[in-house]
């Protein structure tokens, strides 16, 4: 009888998932938050109302079929996929479970930065991103009290896999170590594939960057902007957005190249050298000009600071971003042979 009740409840949570997502999204007055407590409150409500039966998709088409729990401390957020740490299992049940899930905990880890509610035609979806994390920072946070610890490269350019043994059981963490929107939570009954989620995440990251560039362009369009420091400030914003766009491109090309440096130490020169082999001569000329003017306007070059040059830099960056967005749509899975 209890099994039948739970099964019916689970089916209701799945069949009504899109409506539950809508109710949860409408229960708050914000659509973006940098508050970890607000994000956790919404996610806990979502988990409670759906019994954790949601879909979690990642930037590389990786996916989970539920959320088993949420923890946070010191600005970090852990979203659990499978948590068997306190499960009551017979030896036989544990042996069978470990064939599919050998770790007592399978989780994700981010240094929380932002949570967004994005409305689609049918239902809202939830996007998360964290701050950049170095291997050292991951180790400092997770290694404490563990008897074994190791970090592995996921070779997707946006995450690392950390494994630790603590309290005599193993835990695995997908550590999202870039400030890119690389996790999306969607309803169970959405009919959306993980591949579609992947394309959606890339599209969202690029579209968000174009919005940021257009905001800078609006400021540079003002004829009264003559202060050299302000012009350089806007040009430096373009440079930072451009670096972000190139880092998104590195994630897009994860089958073609592997990034060895931590996200936070990748400078424009590093990014250009990584991207250059995959661009034709014309596009590389555009990238070179963006780099030259970005450096000129971001540093004390001793050359005249012109609003028109900063505006041209912004236009060129928008052009490249649109080219990249088109490529992502036409060829969502570039491979190493291309």
User: Could you tell me where the beta strands, DSSP code E, fall in 96-147?
Assistant: 105-119, 124-130
Domain limits of the chain? Answer: 2-190, 194-330
Q: Which two tokens stand for residue 222?
A: 């003002």
Q: What are the pLDDT digits (tens) for 112-152?
A: 999 999 999 999 999 999 999 999 999 999 999 999 999 99
Residue 315 has pLDDT above 90, yes or no: yes
Cα 125 to chain centroid distance, Å, stands at 14
Q: Bigger pLDDT: 12 or 49? A: 49
The pLDDT of residue 36: 97
Q: What are the pLDDT digits (tens) for 82-119?
A: 999 999 989 999 899 999 899 999 999 999 999 999 99
Look up the pTM and report it: 0.92
Q: What is the mean pLDDT of the chain?
A: 92
Region 41-49: mean pLDDT is: 97
Q: Which residue has the tokens 């912004």?
A: 314
CA angle 314, 237, 118 (to 5 degrees): 90
Q: Which two tokens stand for residue 146?
A: 């563990």
d(CA 254, CA 61): 12
Residue 61 has pLDDT above 50, yes or no: yes
Cα 92 to chain centroid distance, Å, stands at 38
CA angle 234, 31, 177 (to 5 degrees): 65
The pLDDT of residue 292: 93
Of the pLDDT bands very low, low, confident and very high (cuts 50, 70, 90), residue 320 is very high
The single-letter DSSP state of residue 18 is H
Residue 212 has pLDDT above 80, yes or no: yes
The pLDDT of residue 338: 46
Share of the chain above pLDDT 90, in %: 82
The pLDDT of residue 3: 36
Q: Check: CATH 1.20.5 for 194-330?
A: no
Of the pLDDT bands very low, low, confident and very high (cuts 50, 70, 90), residue 336 is low
Q: Which two tokens stand for residue 200?
A: 């959606």
Neighbours of 39 (CB within 10 A): 21
Cα 228 to chain centroid distance, Å, stands at 35
Cα 152 to chain centroid distance, Å, stands at 18
Region 18-25: mean pLDDT is: 97
The pLDDT of residue 12: 76
Q: What are the pLDDT digits (tens) for 295-311?
A: 999 877 777 889 999 99
């Amino acid at each position: 009888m209890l099994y039948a009740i739970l099964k019916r409840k689970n089916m209701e949570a799945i069949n009504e998932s899109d409506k539950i997502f809508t109710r949860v999204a409408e229960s708050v007055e914000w659509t973006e938050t940098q508050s970890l407590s607000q994000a956790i409150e919404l996610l806990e409500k979502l988990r409670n109302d759906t019994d954790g039966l949601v879909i979690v998709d990642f930037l590389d088409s990786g996916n989970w079929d539920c959320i088993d729990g949420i923890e946070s401390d010191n600005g970090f957020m852990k979203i659990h996929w499978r948590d068997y740490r306190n499960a009551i299992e017979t030896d036989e049940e544990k042996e069978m479970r470990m064939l599919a899930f050998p770790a007592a905990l399978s989780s994700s880890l981010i240094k929380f930065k932002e949570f967004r509610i994005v409305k689609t035609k049918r239902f809202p979806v939830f996007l998360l991103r964290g701050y950049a994390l170095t291997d050292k920072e991951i180790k400092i946070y997770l290694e404490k009290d563990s008897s074994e610890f190791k970090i592995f490269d996921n070779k997707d350019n946006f995450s690392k896999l950390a494994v630790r043994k603590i309290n005599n059981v193993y835990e695995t963490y997908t550590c999202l170590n870039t400030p890119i929107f690389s996790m999306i939570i969607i309803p169970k009954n959405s009919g959306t594939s993980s591949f579609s989620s992947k394309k959606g995440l890339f599209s969202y990251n690029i579209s968000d960057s174009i919005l940021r560039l257009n905001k800078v362009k609006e400021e540079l369009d003002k004829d009264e902007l003559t202060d050299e420091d302000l012009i350089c400030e806007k040009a430096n914003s373009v440079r930072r957005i451009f670096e972000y766009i190139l880092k998104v491109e590195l994630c897009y090309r994860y089958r073609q190249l592997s990034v060895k440096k931590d996200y936070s130490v990748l400078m424009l020169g590093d990014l250009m050298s990584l991207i250059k082999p995959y661009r034709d001569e014309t596009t590389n000329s555009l990238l070179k000009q963006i780099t030259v003017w970005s450096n000129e306007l971001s540093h004390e070059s001793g050359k005249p600071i012109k609003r028109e040059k900063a505006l041209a830099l912004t236009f060129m960056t928008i052009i490249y971003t649109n080219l990249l967005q088109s490529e992502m749509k036409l060829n969502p899975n570039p491979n190493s042979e291309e």
